[in-house]
Structure 1
Amino acid sequence: MFVESVVRWGLWSILLQVGLGVSAGGCPPRCVCRPEAREVICSGKYLNSVPEGFSNDARRLDLSRNRIKTVGRRQFSGLVQLQELNLSDNLISMIEVEAFLGLKNLRTLQIKNNRLKILPVGVFSGLSSLRFLDLSQNEILVFLDYTFKEMVNLQTLEAEENDLVFISQRAFFGLQNLQELCLDRSNLTSIPTEALSQLQSLTQLRMLRLIISTMPNNAFRRLQRLQSLVISNWPALDNLASNSLIGLNLTSLVISSCNLSAVPYVALRHLVYLHFLDLSYNPITVIQGNLLGDLLRLQELHLAGASLIKIEPGAFRGLSFFRMLNVTSNQLTTLEESAFHSVGNLQVLRLDGNPLACDCRLLWVVRRRFRLNFDGHQPTCSSPDAVRQREFRGFSEKELPRIFTCRPARIMDRRPQEARVEEGTTVLFSCKADGDPFPSITWISSHKNVISPTGRVRVLPNGTLEVRFAQVQDSGTYQCLAGNAAGNDSLTVGLYVKGVPQNRSIPLFMDVSWTEPSNPQAANSSAQMAKPFPFDVKTLIIATTMGFLSFLSSVAICFVFMFFWSQSKGQIKHTATIDFVPRSSMGGGGDGGEGGRFTMKLI
């Protein structure tokens, strides 16, 4: 009895499915039809071609994970109610023109992970209602002009992981409502600026894993509605042209995993609506002060996994809406409060993964350790040794004044420095300082300007001021400022340059260190160093020898030339007879004098 019941139940199930299928207009073999949802599921059935016998009122057709190789012309013309078609994960290498003609209500078309190499113009004819198209993971080499011209309502185009080498200028013509475009892992070597300019409704553009090395000016012109731009994994991209992002009104920008060695301040300055900026995984070493102020609405900055060693004071000055900073996994030893416009607005701070020195510069962070959101990653101390590997939340209030301390900057040698030299002399002024943290050295000129590390008057890496080939106008006082988070110290030095008279030559090189004004003889003797002779004896001997050899060579060439020239003239006389008439002894003329003749032998 039990066996008969099971058989009877199975027969009723089969009859019920068949009945439902027939009532819905038919169901192809090996497919599962769901009339209540108006779905036909033929996924993973090892089909070699598109089957027939679909219900005319089907709204969803899944043909994924089969072995279909070709989609013929008007293959689905009877499915006028179809809204979603999935042809992904097949072996499709050819789609004939007008293959989807008749699918006037289709909204979603997926042809992902097939073997398409080219899309003939007209292959998407009739898809005027399509909203989403996925062409990713194929072998498409080029997008031709007018490939998508009839897809006027398309909003999302996924084209990642193809072999694209070229996108024609009018390839995207007709995509007047496209909002999202993804170009990922292709062989494009330049940004398809002209093609992208057709997409004036585009709001999101993702371009990942490309081999493009430059971003030229006006790279994204006419994309005024673009809000989100993602550029990631371009290992050859090391620079952005100053106007590469001009015309954009972005709210989100990602340029990550590239080769930028500095924050592209000039290229970013136009993005006044930017809220989110991600420059992570670039070899950026410093965030400079007072250069991000044009990004008035910036709220988040991500610079994780970079090479940051310093965030300068005033780095985020002017950013009154700034609320999140992510600088995890860098080489920062500290982050000073002076870098921010207002730390009261800061909500999320990622400092983990940095070799943090727990001193007075980080006291402001530790005092806010229970209010700041560290996103589940507590910062830890790397130095001093007494608190190594301790998390910020583990410190008690009583410990803070004892541990998070600093020693003010102090200039070590405070002896007066003064140099009196002649014009053309090179002068060095020393400024060595000590403190914890190690102080920075800044030199101020006599004109109250900060002296840079480059130029004729410059600051050397060890803090020494160098004045090369001193001029009279360089005379004056210079101030050395040594400072750290705990305090500053200063030292003033003097330089007096005497002009050289017009009839005297200016020495080529002369290094003069500072001298104490209490010993004027030492200063004068240093200033009167011997002028180096411009050439040594060895150089003169070589030059003379080379000149003599050149002269002998020229003479020899002349004699050889004359010899061959005379040989080419045939028989030549070797004697010459000359007639002459001597002048009168009175100098009145030649009359009355007897003429003469003599013969001369030519050698």
Structure 2
Amino acid sequence: MFGKPGVQWRLGLAALYLWVSGVVYTKDTSWTCPQPCQCNSRTLEANCSDCQFEVVPDGFPQDCRLLNLTHNDLKTLVSQQFKTLTQLLELDVSDNLLVMIEAEAFLGLRSLLTLRLARNRLRVIPAGAFNGLPQLKLLDIRDNLILVLLDFTFQDLAALLRVDTGRSDLVFVSPHAFAGLTNLRELNVDRCNLTAVPTEGLRPLSGLATLSLHGLGLTTLTNYSFRWLGNLKKLVISHWSVLETLEGNSLFGLNLTFLTVSNCNLSVVPYASLHHLVYLVHLDLSFNPIRYIRGNSLRDLLRLQEFHLVGGQLLRIDPRAFHGLARFKVLNVSGNLLKTLEEGVFSSVGSLGVLRLDDNPLACDCRLLWVLRRRVHLGFDRQPPVCTTEVRFEGWSFLDFAEVDLPGPFTCRRSRILNPKPQHVQIAEGYTVHLHCNAEGDPTPSISWLNPQRVQLSAFGRLQVLANGSLEVRYAQVRDSGTYICLASNAGGNDSIGVSLIVRGFSHSSRNSLLLNETQSFPFEVKTLVVAVTIGVLSFLCSVTICFIFMFLWSKGKGQYKHTATIEYVPRSAASTNNGGKGHVESSRFTMKLI
């Protein structure tokens, strides 16, 4: 008695199926597009890729949602090229030969969300080219020949959220190029010829959240490069192969949560540029030739949770490097030159969740015992640390050691000074002295010196610690006298020894005595003086004699004629007597011989 309702239900279902099939069949037969394009009525997609079109064909269904025109020979998009496709959501014209887009080429695509124009030959995009795209969210213009982004190029794209540009010849971004993009959230610039960050060009993008700058050829990131981007949360700077410096205020004005400066040429962590980024959560400095991370230099990054420095040249991470970072969870320093990582690097290892130390020349001793004991709670991303410097356990993963074997090989031999007897050194004022201190231990101890006031001495100045652990006191002074402490320390323990230095000074009487002794050490020698005077007189006489001989020979060389001069004159007395008359005045003369 239940058969009839069951049959009726099956018949109804069959009728519904036939009706739906008929609708689909009718729709398939009416949904046509230009040949040789392939169209799909279910996805409302027209695929005209690689059809060798030189112009955009007509005849696409008005309800088309996706239009693929990639890998054709299109050179120009004329005005109102797609005006009938009012329901189109995505248009891809990538990989063509486009050299021109006329104004209002996309007018009518009021529903378009995605527009791709990548890998064409566009040199300029005229203002008005993007008119009529009120809903556009994504614009991709990568891999073109664009030289300049002109003012108001994107002014009609008020809904745009993301722009991908780059891998072009771009050299300049006009100050108003991005005007109108009030809702833009992401901008990607990749491998262009910009000579500086376009600070003024970025000014209209006050709402920008993500900025990616790849492959620029800048050596320095200058101060205030992003000062207008107060809402920026993520900044990615990568593959600037010659970038060496981030100036102190280069990130001024930013409140980042995510910062990447990777594949560059930074040799030090840019502490001065980072200290004001108190909201920073993720910091990535991978693939930079950074050698050290200093202690207490990142303490201002209170919210930092992740630090990545992969593939660098790290030799040491100083104690307290991540102190003050209570939320710190992830440290990735794989692929460096680290031999160890001490527990004192962190404020607390309790919050540490992921630690990547793989591909480092790790010395498996007591400094890494804390990692071994926390291996159950630490994640290694399936790349656990491996011992490389201990011969017995070379190649052993930290997961290969059994709990019952601990601490086993993970031990240290405390520092021991090899010359433990107290030393006494005396030296005269003004001389240089070296105070020696040798120590042994595993790992190799570090040597430091304390002056008599118990202040640690540095490797610079008149009193300096040398690379071999000795203390050099140059031009010793009386005030340098006292007991100096040599401290040898490693993870196993410390050892110390005192070295007494006495610098002998000079009193006033002793200084006078010293001057007198110095004078007496050079006595007056008469014999030496006589010899010196005699040599001087003889030299003078010889010079005079040579001069006379030369003059005599010169005069003899003039011949046998005697040259004379006769001078006639009137005596003054005779001239005065006859001055008033007209009498005769007799003159006088004399003759002079010229040699």
Give a deviation string over 1:22-66, Cα, whole Å, max 9, x none.
845x62232233444443322222211111122333332221222
Which of 44, 53, 56 is residue 62 of structure 2 equivalent to?
56
Give, in angstroms, the shift of residue 463 of structure 1. Answer: 1.2
- Asked whether the 8 Å contact 1:90–1:114 carries over to 2, the reply is yes
Specify whether residues 456 and 167 from structure 1 end up closer, same or farther in structure 2 by C-alpha distance, changes over 3 A only. Answer: farther
Aligned counterparts, 1:16-415, within 5 A:
20=27, 23=30, 27-415=33-421
Q: Output the amino acid matched with 1:461.
A: A
Contact 1:128 1:152 in 2 (8 A): yes
On the 8 A contact 1:425/1:468 being kept in 2, the answer is yes
Residues 314-346 of structure 1 deviation map (CA, whole Å, 9 limit, x = unaligned): 111111111111111111111111111111111
C-alpha separation in 2, matches of 1:320 and 1:93: 55
SS at match of 2:369: helix
* Pairing partner for 2:437 from 425, 431, 437: 431
Asked if the contact 1:140–1:163 (Cα under 8 Å) also holds between the matched residues in 2, the reply is yes
Amino acid paired to 1:229: L
For 1:348 and 1:415, the matched residues in 2 are separated by 47
- 1 CA distance for matches of 2:504 and 2:243? 51
Task: Look up the SS of the partner of 2:484 in the other structure.
Answer: strand
Q: Which residue of 2 aligns with 1:461?
A: 467
Residue type at the aligned position of 1:177: N
1:408 Cα deviation after fit: 0.3
Shift of 1:416: 2.8
Cα deviation for residue 504 of structure 1 reads: 11
Query: SS where residue 138 of structure 1 aligns?
Result: coil
Q: CA deviation at 1:209?
A: 1.8
Cα distance in 2, alignment partners of residues 52 and 253 from structure 1? 47
Residues 444 and 451, structure 1, Cα contact 8 Å, conserved in 2: yes
Q: Which amino acid aligns with 2:334?
A: T
Q: CA distance change for structure 1 residues 36 and 470 in 2, over 3 Å: closer, same or farther?
A: same
Q: Partners in 1 of 2:175 and 2:593 — Cα distance?
A: 88
Tell me which amino acid in the other structure corresponds to 1:337: E
Gaps of 5+ in 2: 1-21, 512-517, 519-564, 573-589
Deviation at 1:489, TM superposition (A): 0.9
Which segment is superposed worse, 98-107 or 332-341?
Answer: 98-107
Q: 1:111 to 1:413 in 2, by over 3 A?
A: same
Deviation sequence 1:254-300 (CA, Å, 0-9, x none): 11111111111111111111111111111111111111111111111
SS for the counterpart of 1:481 is: strand
Instruction: Identify the residue that residue 521 of structure 1 maps to in structure 2.
Output: none
Work out the CA distance in 1 between the residues paired with 2:276 and 2:66. Answer: 46
Separation of aligned partners in 2, 1:179 and 1:124: 18
From the superposition, tell whether residues 27 and 16 of structure 1 become closer, same or farther in structure 2 (CA, over 3 Å): farther
Distance 1:498 1:358 in 2: 49
SS at match of 2:245: coil
In the alignment, what sits opposite 1:445?
A: 451
Q: Which amino acid aligns with 1:169?
A: P
Question: Which amino acid letter does the alignment assign opposite residue 233 of structure 2?
Answer: Q
C-alpha distance in structure 1 between counterparts of 2:81 and 2:128, whole Å: 14
User: Is the Cα contact below 8 Å between 1:189 and 1:213 reproduced in 2?
Assistant: no
Q: Which among 422, 442, 447 is matched to residue 416 of structure 1?
A: 422
Identity %: 51
Q: CA deviation at 1:175?
A: 1.5
Letter in 2 for 1:443: W
Q: Distance in 2 between matches of 1:152 and 1:98?
A: 16
Q: Deviations over 1:550-584 (max 9, x none)?
A: xxxxxxxxxxxxxxxxxxxxxxxx9999xxx9xxx
1:77 Cα offset (Å): 2.1
- Whether the 8 Å CA contact 1:70–1:95 is kept in 2: the answer is yes
1:21–1:33 contact (8 Å) kept in structure 2: no
For 1:408-439, what per-residue CA distance to the aligned partner results, in whole angstroms no more than 9, with x for missing partners? 01111123334444443323211211100001
CA distance in 2: counterparts of 1:87 and 1:96, whole angstroms: 15
The CA deviation string for residues 168-190 of structure 1, in whole angstroms up to 9 with x for no partner, is 22222221211111111222222
Change over 3 Å in CA distance of 1:99–1:385 after alignment to 2: same
CA distance, structure 2, for counterparts of residue 286 and residue 86 of structure 1: 48
- Give the Cα separation in 1 of the matches to 2:89 and 2:567: 117
2: CA distance between counterparts of 1:77 and 1:473? 92
- 1:477-504 superposed Cα distances (whole Å, 9 cap, x missing partner): 3322110001001122234445567999
Whether the 8 Å CA contact 1:575–1:602 is kept in 2: the answer is no
TM-score in terms of structure 1 length: 0.78
CA distance in 2, matches of 1:183, 1:253: 16
Residues 307, 576 of structure 1: alpha-carbon distance in 2 compared, 3 angstrom cutoff: farther
How has the CA–CA distance of structure 1 residues 81 and 485 changed in structure 2, closer, same or farther, with 3 Å as cutoff? Answer: same
Where 1:104 maps in the other structure, the secondary structure is coil
Quick one: distance in 1 between partners of 2:494 and 2:447? 10
- The amino acid that maps onto 2:35 is P
Determine whether 1:489 maps to 2:492. no
Distance 1:387-1:36 versus aligned 2 partners, 3 A rule: closer
Q: 1:421·1:496 contact (CA, 8 Å) conserved in 2?
A: yes
Q: CA deviation at 1:206?
A: 1.0
Contact 1:65-1:88 at 8 Å conserved across structures: yes
Note closer, same or farther for the CA distance 1:170–1:494 as it changes in structure 2 (3 Å cut). Answer: farther
Q: Which deviates the most, 100-109 or 276-285?
A: 100-109
- Tell me the C-alpha RMSD between the 2 structures: 3.2
Gap regions ≥5 residues in structure 1: 1-14, 506-527, 529-573, 582-597
Q: 1: distance between equivalents of 2:508 and 2:373?
A: 66
What SS is found at the alignment partner of 1:381? coil
**How far off its partner does 1:100 sit?**
1.5
CA distance 1:501–1:19, change in 2 (3 Å): farther
| Structure 1 residues 55-91: Cα deviation after superposition (integer angstroms, max 9, x where no partner) | 3333322212222111112211232232221111212
Residue-by-residue CA offset, 1:182-240 (whole Å, 9 max, x unaligned): 11122222211221222111111111122111111111112111111111111101111
Alpha-carbon separation, structure 1, partners of 2:45 and 2:457: 75
Deviation at 1:117, TM superposition (A): 1.8
CA–CA distance in structure 2, aligned partners of residues 28 and 262 of structure 1: 60
Bigger CA drift: 120-129 or 400-409?
120-129
Larger Rg: 2
Describe the shift of the 1:599–1:408 C-alpha distance in structure 2 as closer, same or farther (beyond 3 A): farther
Q: SS in structure 2 opposite 1:183?
A: strand
Alpha-carbon distance between aligned partners in 1 of 2:169 and 2:124, rounded to the nearest angstrom: 10
Q: Are the structure 2 counterparts of residues 17 and 502 from structure 1 closer, same or farther at C-alpha, using a change threshold of 3 Å? A: farther
**1:477 aligned counterpart, secondary structure:** strand
- TM-aligned CA distance change 1:198 to 1:469, over 3 Å: farther
Measured after TM superposition, the shift of residue 470 of structure 1 is 3.3
Q: Deviations over 1:351-388 (max 9, x none)?
A: 11111111111111111223221111121111321111
